[in-house]
Amino acid sequence: MLAYRHAFHAGNHADVLKHLVLARVLRYLGEKDKPYTLVDTHAGAGGYSVEGRYAQKNAEYGSGIARLWDRKDLPEPLAAYVQLVKDFNPDGQLRQYPGSPAVANLLMREADRLRVYELHPTDHRILASYLESRPNTQVADTDGFASLKGELPPPSRRGAVLMDPPYEIKTDYGKVLTALREGLQRFADGVYMIWYPQLQTLESAQLATRLKAAADAAAKKGWLHVRLTVAQPDERGFGMLGSGMFVANPPFTLHDELQECLPYLVEHLGQYDGANFVLEQRAS
């Protein structure tokens, strides 16, 4: 969907959850000397101005990263994520929010391979310019789902995939499921991270169950599923209630790190008394 612009949503509660998980996975992969590859199928622009007209339209960052920016009591994994955002804002003011390619750029080493895909022509140009000096990096304006087969397995047999399409068309739900199945067939050891919106739709409600079944069949190290619910639907039953991340072959440290952070996120990002989280894991 070339009409979708993530700048409208940059830094919201869903970005907080997604990038917290991404950062923990990349830090874990970086603990070993052997290089790894990250494939980002829907990369966006790389970074977003929270002072620009897109972000200011609904100011979603105000109920996301802005609520954590000045906190001094953050759990350590959450504090490390917020520090990444601060590193992206060297003047100390929250002016820019790093998208997933920028989070990756802040954490990956020169020898690690970064492969990013973005179809929107404007976002692709911004992303290519941002990453042009990073070694071992390719920025493509082709379909990330269709290109994933060619990326797996990576040369070092160590790697991760991030899939976070906008889900503005229902076929995205089926595409992430197919991509996970095919990815695990090609690269059963890879870490696969799939973000999804929590909506009152059948596709959203069923996705995690379908992803679990796919991982049960092929993932060597099991799976982890986390969902953060922060809002209620509007009077017509619409609206994004929260979001989830499904991780096939998660780092063994990830569950406990999220368990430490999620109650804090519910308390500080929750927009109603029923805000809650789900955290579940199945070992292989």
In DSSP terms, 138 is beta-bridged to 115
Residue tagged active-site, from 15, 40, 112, 164: 164
The Cβ-side half-sphere exposure at 98, using a 13 Å CA radius, reads 25
First to last CA, the chain: 36
- Phi, psi (deg, nearest 5) at residue 45: -90, -10
Q: List the structure tokens of 253.
A: 């440290």
Residue 102 region, left (φ>0) first, then alpha (ψ -120 to 50), else beta?
alpha
Residue 149 region, left (φ>0) first, then alpha (ψ -120 to 50), else beta?
alpha
164 given a catalytic annotation: yes
Q: Which residue has the tokens 């499904």?
A: 246
Active site residues: 164
